[in-house]
């Protein structure tokens, strides 16, 4: 009996990603071992709907797209132990795929789907918003909001916005509470890491374990402007946690309150949420091919 596979494609993620993916699937898949179907998302949230309605009909469901598409499909499959999720990253950051060592080349990522390597990863919520990679509040969330609101994409545009806004942004006062402690910090940002990185190999929490049932909450405290280049380098070489301006807390759940306007990002999406925030690890695991 053949293994059944559903490919969920975001046709607008990446340049001609949908057409390219279909061509590679036809070439790579062994029809003697696998039978497959392809569906394309048509609007925001459609990936979740497709995944939920098909999770009992397929052995493997594959998300082909950026962080948003992967988030949607994962949301529809979380807690379902009878189906494996595959990831073919076509976005600009691809943080989760990089953390799980999933190939970034489409043909290699599709080929990897047919392997038998699978792991159970944690899924999380920030208030009622599902995420599996990294969420956060503060400066990085504000930058994400501006980035997503603009027309430009890619690492260059993201860095340009970051540099421009850094000198104008005022740190906020956060009250952070877990089941074991409560701290108050004046911080540039507070990140909630399930995996180790934002994307593009920017490691906000290099030691994060995506399967340990804990969130790594990373506080970036206010620091002198002249240290910016050094912290930027440490973000990309996995040593950010060594800085005295960085603090990391671990817990299954956090409550965060703040004195300012709250921009929030999660898995590449950005929005405004009212404080307090509740960030927690769900009981629902996700089986991912990696």
- Read off the pLDDT of residues 29-81 as tens digits, 9 standing for 90 and up: 888 889 999 999 999 999 999 999 999 999 999 999 989 999 999 999 999 99
Q: How far apart are CA 180 and CA 8, in angstroms?
A: 41
- Chain Cα centroid distance, residue 17: 20
Q: How far apart are CA 40 and CA 31, in angstroms?
A: 21
User: Stretch 189-198: mean pLDDT, rounded?
Assistant: 96
What are the boundaries of each domain within the chain?
3-116, 129-282
Instruction: Dig out the tokens for 89 from the structure.
Output: 């990253």
Confidence at 93, pLDDT banded by 50, 70, 90: confident
Task: Write down the mean pLDDT value for the chain.
Answer: 91
Indicate the range of 14-28, 89-103, 175-189 predicted with least confidence.
Answer: 14-28
134 forms beta bridges with 193
Cβ contact 217:187 at 8 Å: no
Cβ contact 169:176 at 8 Å: no
CATH 3.40.50.10330 for the 3-116 domain, yes or no: yes
Q: What is the pLDDT of residues 117-176, one digit of tens each?
A: 899 999 999 999 999 999 999 988 888 888 877 766 666 787 788 888 888 888 999 999
Identical topology for domains 3-116 and 129-282: no
CATH number, domain 129-282, options 2.60.200.40, 3.90.1150.10, 3.40.50.10300, 2.60.40.10: 2.60.200.40
Q: How many other CB atoms are there within 10 angstroms of residue 112's CB atom?
A: 17
DSSP annotation of 11 reads: T
The predicted pLDDT at position 158 comes to 76
Cβ contact 121:146 at 8 Å: no
Q: How many other CB atoms are there within 10 angstroms of residue 179's CB atom?
A: 9
Q: What torsion do the CA atoms of 70, 71, 72, 74 make, to the nearest 10 degrees?
A: 80
pLDDT above 70: percentage of residues in the chain: 96
Q: What is the pTM of this model?
A: 0.91
Cβ contact 188:139 at 8 Å: yes
Instruction: Dig out the tokens for 33 from the structure.
Output: 């071992």
CA-closest candidate to residue 119, choices 102, 94, 107: 102
**DSSP letters spanning 155-187:** HHHHHHHHHHHHTTPPPEEEEEE-SS-EEEEEE
Cβ contact 219:136 at 8 Å: no
Angle at 46 between CA 209 and CA 134, to 5 degrees: 20
**End-to-end CA distance of the chain, in Å?**
23
Q: How far apart are CA 257 and CA 173, in angstroms?
A: 8
| 102 three-state secondary structure | coil
């Amino acid at each position: 009996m053949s293994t059944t596979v559903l490919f969920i494609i975001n046709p607008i993620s990446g340049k001609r990603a949908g057409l390219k993916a279909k061509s590679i699937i036809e070439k790579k898949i062994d029809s003697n071992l696998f039978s497959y179907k392809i569906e394309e998302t048509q609007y925001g949230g459609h990936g979740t709907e497709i995944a939920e309605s098909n999770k009992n009909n397929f052995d493997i469901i594959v998300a082909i797209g950026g962080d948003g598409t992967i988030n949607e499909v994962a949301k529809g499959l979380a807690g379902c132990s009878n189906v494996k999720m595959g990831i073919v990253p076509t976005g600009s950051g691809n943080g989760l795929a990089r953390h799980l060592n999933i190939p970034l080349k489409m043909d290699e990522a599709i080929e990897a789907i047919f392997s038998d390597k699978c792991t159970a990863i944690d899924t999380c919520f920030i208030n009622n918003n599902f995420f599996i990679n990294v969420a956060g509040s503060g400066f990085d969330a504000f930058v994400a909001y501006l980035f997503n609101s603009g027309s430009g994409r890619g690492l260059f545009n993201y860095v340009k916005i970051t540099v421009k806004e850094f000198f104008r942004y005022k740190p906020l006062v956060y009250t952070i509470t877990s089941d074991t402690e409560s701290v108050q910090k004046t911080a540039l940002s507070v990140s909630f890491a399930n995996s180790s990185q934002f994307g593009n190999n920017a490691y906000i929490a290099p030691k994060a374990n995506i399967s340990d049932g804990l969130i790594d909450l990373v506080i970036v405290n206010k620091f002198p402007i002249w240290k910016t280049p050094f912290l930027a380098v440490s973000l990309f070489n996995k040593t950010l946690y060594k800085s005295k301006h960085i603090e990391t807390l671990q817990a299954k759940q956090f409550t965060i309150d703040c004195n300012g306007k709250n921009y929030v990002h999660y898995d590449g999406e950005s929005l405004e949420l009212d404080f307090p925030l509740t960030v927690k690890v769900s009981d629902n695991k996700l089986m991912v091919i990696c």
